[in-house]
Amino acid sequence: MATIHNEIENWLAADLHGELSESEQSALHAHLVDCAACRKAHHETKTMNKILEETLAHEKPDPAFERRMLAGFRNRIPERTGVSKVLANLMRLRATQITAVAAVLLGLVQIGRMLTGENAAPLPSRENYVREGFVAQPPQAGATGADQSTSLAKSDELTRGRSQDLALNEPPPPAAPASRSELDKETAAMGLAAAKVAAATPQNLARAEQAEAKPGETPAPVQANRKLIRNATVQLEIVSFDDSVQKITALANEERGYVATTSSEKQANGKLRGTVVVKVLPENLDRFLQKVRGLGELKNQTLGTEDVTKAYLDTDARLKNAHVIEQRLVDMLKTKTGKVSDLLQVEKELGRVREDIEKMQGELKYWDSQVQFATVTVSLAEKEMEEPAAFLIKERSQLALYAPDVEKIYNDIKALASQKVQVTNAQLNRDYSGRVSATMSMLIAPEESDAVITRVKSLGRVENFQTQTERIAQGGSGMSENAKTKRDKVELNITISREEQEQAFQQTSLRIRTSSVDERAKDLRAVAEKQGGRVRSSTFSRDPNGRELANVWLRVPMKNYPTLMQSLDSLGKVENVTVQRQDRTGTQIDEANAPADISIQVYSQGNIVSHESGLLATLRRTLAQSAGAIMWSLRMIGVAIAFLAPWVIAIVGVIWITQRVVRAKR
Amino acid sequence: MDASKSEQYEAAIHGDREAFEMIIRTHSRTLFAIAYGVLQNREEAEDVVQDSLVKAWKTRWRVRDAGKFPAWLATIARHRAHDIFRKRRAVSLSNETIEATESHPADTMAIDQQLHSALAALPELHRTALTLRYFEEMDYRTIENTLGLTNGALRGILGRALASMRKQLRPALASPD
């Protein structure tokens, strides 16, 4: 009760506002009955509440308040219409926001690329290259592995077939699966090894070939339990077949081998050709081959090694297996129990097994013999010592001509064509700058050749003339001294170029200082023309400082060169003369008519003081430079922004998303 | 808070105009009560509500928790009202002398005026709580939420507010009875 009394105001307020629970209400009322002071307060509060309600009712917003608020809001924030509304709605979609951000990022990246001038084309990717490399390798490994495994699998199958045949009603013999699993293991190991080696396979192969091609070197040490069959073939060209066979036999004896077979054949031209098969001990094979090669001219040689270890071991195992079966069958016959038909069956089977055993034993023996001796097949052929019967003399000439009018000469030469003179090729070329050149080929009858060549030479200036004579032997018989010679048609290749293109025989450059450049340049042209020269090009320029400069390039025949040089002295002060002469050795040159190039620079001193000086000019330059510097730094800032902005945006985006996620979790 | 309301706030925050207008319809009276609690002037309070709504629309993206949207609106309105209040005080200071001459002694004032001055004498929070209660007849929980008060605090606030007013108005209260 004391609490109610102390906090009577709170209780009264809550009571008036209907915020008391039922139990609280009854407690309050009970207290009010007891306490006079609180009763008074209750009374007063009730009155005041009434006044308050009445007074504040006037201040309450009127019923149209909400509408007013809405109207005011609409007034101040007009609703979007049309496209902007659609856009605004679109922008509220998460997908649109993400797309927009992505687009902005991409755009910035592009701008960055443009600013830095980075090429947009992707680099020829290393990745691709590497991938190709990898793709290329494994099939090789697979192939080699597969080859081996298939060949082994075949022998496997054989074994299996045999053991199944043998099995009949009995349990399979224990040896077969044992050997099979062994083989399987080995196969797997081989496959692995092959795969490992495959990466370097090409080099390895090459090395192996090299090793084989050098029989002088000792072969890799052969493991004692390996069964290797070595074979070699040698093709030789020798003078006498019989001599060589004798020598080979002697060599074979030396190397503790023997000649297995010899065969020979006489050819249409009376020469002998044949083969000798020699067996030598494998360890002596290389030495033997070296000796044999000394007998004549080596045309071809191969050396091969076949590893039959696997097949050998396989057959060996099967043989043992067959022996076991044989023994069992024999035991069965000995006990003689069972039906007669069964016994007959057993006997039949015994016969088959024994046949197999013999076959296998024969196989092993054959391999043993093969392994014991290496086989060398020597193919011999006698040399054909024939002499040519006649010679054909072929003459080829190259002629380079310079002419003022290429087309005219081209047509002149074409006009020379007759029965004895044949134009095989004629080509007139005009390049993009209008320069004309021609190439022609002619075949001239030997008797006419000198006259025609002289005629062609006279048409233009000969820059170069070369003749080449070749003696070609033709089939037949007889000694070279009395062989007939015959002149073939002369081949003449002509190239015609315009004189302009001719490289100058002598190049001169000089400077002339004068006060009136323009006039002197004109004089210069006049002088040149008088001396039979031609102005090839000329330029004239005047710079802001009043300096004048004229460049003139002239071409004159060598014979007029000295005169021209002398007359130049009259034009002004000649300075800086450099002369370059190009002596072409080994070619005939018409020196008097060869062109000489002269490049002349006529110049004046001009004003010493530049217009570009003084305060204003300096200011202007400074301003221009600083403007340039500012532009440059702006550009650099642009680059920096373009590079950084995507990162900043990305980081802000990530932070924003993580915040959202964290808040969502909370 | 029920889900539909929360969705409405969310939509408004994301720029759904219709949702926002719906909020204007349901909440502007509350805002008015708050503004009136500060200013005790209907016209000014209306302006405050208007301004607050516009400002809320423009800065709606700042609201991170849709559930706190009404409280945020209330804060905007209170701040805006304070701004107006400060301006008014600056103006009224210059007019003080005139007002002083026009003021009447307390006992001659009508009961309305006495009540108003008693209201004015209350702390702002108490006044706002009163206006929310008497204008909108809100229950205590809603008022506490709107004003950001802890549970049960309002009972004490309203009790003290009524008590202090009662003391000021005691002479006037006695007379009509």
CA distance B17 to B23: 10
Is B166 close to A44, i.e. CB distance below 8 A? Answer: yes
Q: Is residue A493 located within the same domain as residue A520? A: no
Beta bridge partners, A436, equal A430
Residue A601 CB burial class (10 angstroms; 0-12, 13-18, ≥19):
middle
Neighbours of A593 (CB within 10 A): 14
Largest CA distance in chain A: 168
CA quadruple A60, A62, A64, A65: dihedral positive or negative? negative
Q: Is residue A474 located within the same domain as residue A527? A: no
Q: What token pair was written down for A154? A: 């075949």
Q: What token pair was written down for A5? A: 């009394």
Domain boundary among A440, A466, A500: A500
- Residue B89 distance to chain A (closest CA, Å): 21
Sequence-separated (6 or more) residues with CB below 8 Å from residue A43: none
Q: Is residue A495 located within the same domain as residue A511? A: no
Asked whether the beta carbons of A482 and A438 are under 8 A apart, the reply is no
How many residue pairs from chains A and B have C-beta atoms closer than 8 A?
Answer: 110
Q: What is the pLDDT of residue B94?
A: 60
Which residues in B lie closer than 8 A to residue A88 (C-beta atoms)?
15
The answer to whether position A321 is within a domain reads no
Q: What token pair was written down for A55? A: 């007074």
Q: For chain B, say whether A92 makes contact (Cβ under 8 Å).
A: yes
Residue B90 CB burial class (10 angstroms; 0-12, 13-18, ≥19):
exposed
Asked whether the beta carbons of A399 and A495 are under 8 A apart, the reply is yes
The answer to whether position A227 is within a domain reads no
Using CB atoms, pick whichever of A11, A19, A77 lies closest to residue B54.
A77
CA distance B84 to B98: 21
Q: Is residue A461 located within the same domain as residue A554? A: no
Edge to edge, the sheet with strand A548-557 lists A534-542, A548-557, A595-603, A506-513, A573-581
> How close are the terminal C-alpha atoms of chain A, in Å?
43
Q: What token pair was written down for A486? A: 């015959």
- Residue A654 distance to chain B (closest CA, Å): 17
Sequence-separated (6 or more) residues with CB below 8 Å from residue B99: B92
- Residue B91 distance to chain A (closest CA, Å): 23
CA distance B169 to B166: 5
Domain boundary among A472, A500, A528: A500
Asked whether the beta carbons of A496 and A410 are under 8 A apart, the reply is yes
- DSSP label at A387? -
Beta bridge partners, A556, equal A596
Q: What is the pLDDT of residue A217?
A: 42
Q: What is the pLDDT of residue B98?
A: 44
Is A14 close to B155, i.e. CB distance below 8 A? Answer: yes
Q: What token pair was written down for A327? A: 């023994």
Q: What is the pLDDT of residue A629?
A: 95
Report the 3 state secondary structure along chain B.
CCHHHHHHHHHHHCCCHHHHHHHHHHHHHHHHHHHHHHHCCHHHHHHHHHHHHHHHHHCHHHCCCHHHHHHHHHHHHHHHHHHHHHHHHHHHHHCHHHHHHHCCCHHHCCHHHHHHHHHHHCCHHHHHHHHHHHHHCCCHHHHHHHHCCCCCHHHHHHHHHHHHHHHHHHHHHHCCC
CA distance A484 to A387: 12
CA distance B7 to B3: 6
- Residue B28 distance to chain A (closest CA, Å): 7
The answer to whether position A494 is within a domain reads yes
Q: For chain B, say whether A4 makes contact (Cβ under 8 Å).
A: no
All CATH 1.10.10.10 domain ranges in chain B, comma separated: 106-171
Q: Is residue A508 located within the same domain as residue A496? A: no
Is B46 close to A65, i.e. CB distance below 8 A? Answer: yes
- Residue B76 distance to chain A (closest CA, Å): 15
Q: Which residues of chain A have pLDDT under 70?
A: 1-2, 117-225, 384-390, 474-484, 500-502, 584-590, 606-613
Is A52 close to B36, i.e. CB distance below 8 A? Answer: no
Is B32 close to A52, i.e. CB distance below 8 A? Answer: no
The answer to whether position A616 is within a domain reads no
- Concatenated DSSP letters for A300-355? EEEEEEEE-HHHHHHHHHHHHHHHHHHHHHHHHHHHT-S-HHHHHHHHHHHHHHHH
The answer to whether position A567 is within a domain reads yes
Neighbours of A107 (CB within 10 A): 13
Which residues in A lie closer than 8 A to residue B109 (C-beta atoms)?
none
Domain boundary among A578, A603, A628: A603
> Cα A214 to chain center, whole Å?
34
Q: What token pair was written down for A637? A: 């800032």
CA distance A1 to A30: 9
* Strand spans (E) along A148-293: 228-238, 258-266, 272-280
Q: Is residue A493 located within the same domain as residue A510? A: no
CA distance A388 to A391: 8
> What's the number of domains chain A is made of?
4
CATH class, domain B1-103, is: mainly alpha
Asked whether the beta carbons of A81 and A89 are under 8 A apart, the reply is no
Neighbours of A491 (CB within 10 A): 17
Q: Report the CATH number that the domain containing residue A444 is assigned in CATH.
A: 3.30.70
Is A61 close to B170, i.e. CB distance below 8 A? Answer: no
Q: What is the pLDDT of residue A624?
A: 93
Q: What is the pLDDT of residue A479?
A: 52
Report the C-alpha dihedral over residues A308, A310, A313, A319, rounded to 10 degrees: -90
- Residue B88 distance to chain A (closest CA, Å): 20
Q: Which residues of chain B have pLDDT under 70?
A: 1-2, 92-109, 172-177
The answer to whether position A250 is within a domain reads no
Is B173 close to A51, i.e. CB distance below 8 A? Answer: yes
Is A65 close to B57, i.e. CB distance below 8 A? Answer: no
Domain range for A146: 127-198
With respect to CATH, is domain B106-171 assigned 2.60.40.10? no
Q: For chain B, say whether A9 makes contact (Cβ under 8 Å).
A: yes
Q: Is residue A488 located within the same domain as residue A403? A: yes
Q: What token pair was written down for B21? A: 């207008």
CA distance A623 to A634: 16
Using CB atoms, pick whichever of A19, A49, A59 lies closest to residue B140.
A19
All CATH 1.10.1740.10 domain ranges in chain B, comma separated: 1-103
